[in-house]
Amino acid sequence: MLSKTQTLAGITSKVVTEPEEKHLHYVFFDLEGRTLTLAEVVQKLRKIQRDFKLGDISIFNDAKGSYRAFCWSKRPWITYLHILIHSFPQLDYGFWVWTVRRGSATLRVSNKVGRSPQKLVKVLRGYEHAVVPQKLCYVCYDTGIEKKGRLIELG
């Protein structure tokens, strides 16, 4: 499929501060749905936060039904995958696929073309003290501007 793309900046879930923590991940969520509301996101994330005893979760929004959430609690990879499974069906399927494929999550921190700037819409107070680390792994990646394109079959 061919479509117009844009280059975005993101951060990965991998903890890069201490060598003994290289198997740990920060807990990031990309939640999507045409009719998804902030109230539904809060309800889902509060349950996950309680079940996994996570720290504060900061929820950002830049379009109707599109939410990203950052939690700076550190968890082993398998535990992080279990946490993400608990966020279905609101978890963006593409986020899930690329997270599993790459072995870490990437959450967008830059603004998409044609959208409002990301805005902090809610902070859920958590169960453990976790702060934004001074050292993060930043990445740039390309993604489609629209969720549609042209399919060209070769051969």
Q: Single out the residue of 64, 73, 100 nearest to residue 84, CA to CA.
A: 100
Q: What is the pLDDT of residue 72?
A: 95
**pTM assigned to the model:** 0.82
Residue 151: inside a domain: no
Residue 152: inside a domain: no
Domain count, the chain: 1
What residues contact residue 78 under an 8 Å CB cut-off, 6+ apart?
none
pLDDT tier, 87 (very low <50, low <70, confident <90, very high otherwise): very high
Angle between helix axes 77-85 and 93-102 (nearest 10 degrees) is 170
Residue 22: inside a domain: yes
Q: What is the pLDDT of residue 143?
A: 61
Residue 154: inside a domain: no
What's the rounded mean pLDDT across residues 127-136?
86
Number of helices (H), then strands (E), belonging to the chain: the values are 3, 7
Residue 12: inside a domain: yes
- Say which residue, 129 or 12, is predicted with more confidence: 129
Residue 65: inside a domain: yes
Rounded Cα–Cα distance for residues 87 and 116 (Å): 25
What's the rounded mean pLDDT across residues 29-49?
95
Supply the range of the domain harboring residue 55. Answer: 5-144
pLDDT tier, 8 (very low <50, low <70, confident <90, very high otherwise): low
Q: Single out the residue of 128, 152, 134, 153 nearest to residue 52, CA to CA.
A: 128
Residue 155: inside a domain: no
Give the CA angle between residues 92, 96, 98 to the nearest 5°.
115
pLDDT tier, 148 (very low <50, low <70, confident <90, very high otherwise): low
